[in-house]
Amino acid sequence: MKIGILLFSTILLSSGIIISAVSTITKQCELVNYGYGSVANPPQYWREELWSVLNKGMPSAYVILNGTRIVNLSNVSSVQLNSSYFYVYVIKGYVQPYAYLSPIGLLLIFLGTATGFRGMILLIQERALGELSKGYAVGGSIYKYVIKRLASFVISMMIVSSVVIILEAIHGVCITKSISELITFSMGYSRHYGISVTSLLLTSLAFTSLLTGIAFALTVYLSPFLVMKAILGSSVINSLLRRWKYIGNALASWVIAIGLIYLFHVYLNVLPIGSPKGHLIYYLILPLVSLFFPFIGIFANRILLSVSKVPQEFIAKGLSRDVLVFRHILGNLTVVTLSSISAAFVEMLIAEFLVEAIFAWPGLGYLIRIGVDYDDFKIVEGVLMIYSSIVIFSNFIADVIYGIIDPRVTR
């Protein structure tokens, strides 16, 4: 059973990371429109394409007049001609054709890490205690519990949507238009880029999902191993974990990011930064280390501190140290940690926004930086909307998993 949970979580996590990696793939795209007249119009719906502008830049455009004369354009827009011509309007650039898969990848990553943490703890308990690791808990209706959590999710999303509608109304946007855009998941057009904000969000979410998935998975999967090593007598790891919390808080991800850039990119010149122009893995290393290093210590230290506190009623029962640690303390700790795992996920997302902005990694953090720099309200609004949705949805998923693992909360 324990191996099954761990295997299932590994499949979910691997699928999420693979899907996120696939959603970052770019390929060249060429859109063509032709006609006859004194105004050359670009191809219809070109702004809805999943242009990889953060990674590859804006698409280029040119107009061919009467089959011979080529007019290069500085931006994609309708062109007024001095007379009537037969024209061919061409837009060339790079798109991320699978970027729409990025939300699915992020969901699978969160599900994989949440269930994987539980699977790791169950496996450790079984290896240490055997049959003594089994426990039973009586709960209420999981169906009613999920309905309650779903209602909370819907109410939270309605509140966020209402805030967005109010903000747009303040900026002069018609309320009915705002509601229509929210229902159709259309966030309008970027003032800076001139393309769909939805496409910008999806293409940048792909890179955010990939970086978050790897960093968060390493943190959640390695933490139980470090804690077990510390509990079972490794004084070095025990001391390291207790101090790592302060190191992680003092050296935040953005501080580590600046240090890594100076050392490995500026001074040694061995690792690149910015939008990936070659092998993706080389551009991923520095942002990944910046996120992973402080969070693995903080997360493992939270577990270790909880394990160190043995309730007096367990000691009074005369239970052995192994049963105390591996069944009662570690078992209860798993439930408590799972209830806060979405908070840890959100904390890492916040840190990732700063790291992406520093490394110019083409994710949501870099996108909102551009939105702020160029006073692009639609981009900022879109990023905050998708961030709020991720936070609310991750809390909902964590609550459901919490209810399945510990039936007592459904009573």
- Using one digit for the tens of pLDDT, what is the confidence trace for 75-108? 899 999 988 999 999 999 999 999 999 999 998 9
- Given a cut of 60, whether residue 136 has pLDDT beyond it is no
Residue 72 to residues 54, 61, 138, 366, Cα–Cα distance (Å) = 22, 6, 71, 29
Which residues partner with 29 through β-bridges? 93
Q: Which two tokens stand for residue 221?
A: 């999967």
Q: What are residue 189's DSSP bridge partners?
A: 196
Average pLDDT of the residues in 7-34: 92
Q: What is the pLDDT of residue 276?
A: 86
For residues 2-24, average pLDDT = 86
Which residues, other chains included, contact 152 with Cβ-Cβ below 8 Å and sequence gap of 6+? 396
User: At residue 383, does pLDDT exceed 70?
Assistant: yes
- Is residue 335 predicted with pLDDT exceeding 70? no
Residue 369 — very low, low, confident or very high, per pLDDT cuts 50/70/90? very high
The contacts of residue 178 (CB under 8 Å, 6+ apart) are 164, 165, 168, 169
Instruction: Give the pLDDT band (50/70/90) at residue 285.
Output: very high
> Is 261 or 233 the better-scoring residue by pLDDT?
261
Q: Is 177 helix (H, G, I), strand (E, B) or coil?
A: helix
8-state DSSP, 195: S
Mean per-residue pLDDT of the chain: 82
Report the C-alpha gap between 348 and 397 in whole angstroms: 17
Model confidence at 128: pLDDT above 60: no
CA 363, CA 342: separation in Å to the nearest integer?
20
Q: Which of 164, 194, 212, 226 is nearest to 388 (CA)?
A: 164
Listing DSSP states for 58-89 in one string gives PPEEEEEETTTEEEEESSSS-EEEEEEEEEEE
Assess whether pLDDT exceeds 70 at residue 260. yes
Residue 31's pLDDT is 94
Starting at the edge strand found earlier in the chain, the sheet holding 69-73 runs 27-40, 79-95, 60-65, 69-73
The token pair that represents 171 in the structure block: 């900026």
* Contact between residue 88 and residue 63 where contact means Cβ atoms under 8 Å apart: yes
Enter the pTM of the model: 0.86
State the pLDDT at residue 50.
Answer: 94
Helix axes 377-405, 330-359, angle to 10 degrees: 160
